[in-house]
Amino acid sequence: MATKWGICTAGKISHDFTVALKTLPPEDHQVVAVAARKLQDAQEFAKKFSIPHAYGSYEELAKVPEIGKFPSLFTDVVYVGSIHPYHLPLGEMFLNSKKNVLCEKPLAINTKEVQRLVATAKKNNVFLMEALWTRFFPVSLEVSRLLAQGEVGEVKLVKADFGFNLKHIPRSVEKELCGGALLDLGIYCLQFVSMVYQGERPESVQATGVCLDTGVDETMTIAVKYSGNRMAVINCSIAVKLSNDAFVIGTKGTIKIPCHMWSPTSMVVNGKEVHYPLPESRLPLNFINGTGMCYEAEEVRQCLLKGLKESIRMPLADSALLAEIMDEARRQVGVVYSQDAN
């Protein structure tokens, strides 16, 4: 039986996620509903993707009846593709409606909000996962496998850079939209570090950066120290394009993920390059390698089929730890959102 998806928001990221779903077998994944703030936007989105139901409010999607009453309207899981400040209220609304949720990154603005979402999911006994798509790419799975086999020996340093000039995009620079380099881009670097170090809590976090006049971080560098004298260094920026590479450096070798560390399609292991092509899209994409979101969608399906309430590869503890690290980095750099006062 197919996993039935509801799409919350009709924006760019939701477009690419739906394109990615269309690359998967229709007997496994079906998009049955989309909701937007305006009915016309939802209807246009639905027409483009042949989605049977369109709603002009997110509340309507949350109220979709249970499968026993109206099978054609039932959704197994809702994908939340809203901008950052709405992840908590929308996530809570769907979770409290007993719906499984895949929520875009960051799962919430800070640790307190992440804890609220996790508690809400547990209270309602439903599935919740942060949509950090990088974690599910074949390259990421292979990196984990190679590290488990000791391919590069003991890992001593992880490095990751992610930066583009995004200062012309309001959601990236406006404080009320929780913009800034860290929440938008740096989170990808930190999640990669956390994946390599298997969700270990760091001993220390040292951050420095510069902020825009709007009060959000333009560029940030974070040094993270782990037990056993192991380190990680990440750089993120919404002002300039960085190398966008990632490196795992061990006592016996190096793994490099070139160019697109947030959506990797190749890696270089001790000098040997290996490629992992993505599914092809029949529709234009807004983001590089957007069809790679199919991997996180399939992870959700497999978790639901197994009756799991969270992903083993992207556990909620990892999301909580990422939030803690980002909270500390923002504190040191002086980036404070209104949500931090709640």
| pLDDT class of 101 with cuts at 50, 70, 90 | very high
Please report, rounded to a whole number, the percentage of residues in the chain having pLDDT higher than 90: 95
pLDDT single digits (tens) 12-25:
999 999 999 999 99
Q: Of 226, 227, 244, which Cα lies nearest the Cα of 235?
A: 244
d(CA 272, CA 269): 5
- Quote the pLDDT of residue 162: 98
Is the pLDDT at 9 greater than 60? The verdict is yes
When pLDDT is averaged across residues 200-225 and rounded to a whole number, the result is 98
Ranking 31-40, 59-68, 185-194, 238-247 by mean pLDDT, the lowest is 59-68
Strand partners, 258: none
d(CA 164, CA 237): 6
Q: Is the pLDDT of residue 68 over 70?
A: no
CA 64 from chain centre, in angstroms, equals 25
What pLDDT, on the 0 to 100 scale, is given for residue 342?
A: 67
64: confidence class by pLDDT, cuts 50, 70, 90: confident
Average pLDDT over residues 94-110: 97
pLDDT at site 71: 46
Q: How is residue 315 written in tokens?
A: 């556990």
Contacts of 139 (CB under 8 A, 6+ apart): 257, 264, 265, 266, 267, 276
User: Is the predicted pLDDT of residue 98 greater than 50, yes or no?
Assistant: yes
Alpha-carbon Rg of the chain, whole angstroms?
20
> Does pLDDT of 75 surpass 80?
no
Which stretch of 59-73, 90-104, 218-232, 271-285 has the lowest confidence by average pLDDT?
Answer: 59-73
Alpha carbon 195 to chain centroid, angstroms: 13
Q: What is the arithmetic mean of pLDDT over 108-130?
A: 98
Mean pLDDT in the chain?
95
Tokens of 276: 């992992």
What is the per-residue pLDDT for 1? 87
Q: Inter-axis angle of helices 12-22 and 39-49, to 10 degrees?
A: 20
> 256 and 246 in contact (C-beta within 8 Å)?
yes
Residue 65's pLDDT band (cuts 50, 70, 90):
low
Dihedrals phi, psi of 148, to nearest 5 degrees: -65, -30
Judge if pTM exceeds 0.75.
Answer: yes
pLDDT bracket for residue 66 (50, 70, 90): very low
Q: Residue 287 has which token pair?
A: 């983001």
- Specify the residue for token string 């997110």: 58
C-alpha dihedral (291, 292, 298, 299), degrees to nearest 10: -150
Contact assessment for residue 277 and residue 283, using Cβ atoms and an 8 Å cutoff:
no
> What distance in Å separates the CA atoms of residue 168 and residue 267, rounded to the nearest whole number?
31
Region 53-64: mean pLDDT is 92
Burial pattern 313-337, b for ≥16 Cβ within 10 A else e, equals: bbebebbbbbbbbbbbbbeebebeb
How close are the terminal C-alpha atoms of the chain, in Å? 42
Q: Kindly state the average pLDDT of the residues 123-133.
A: 98
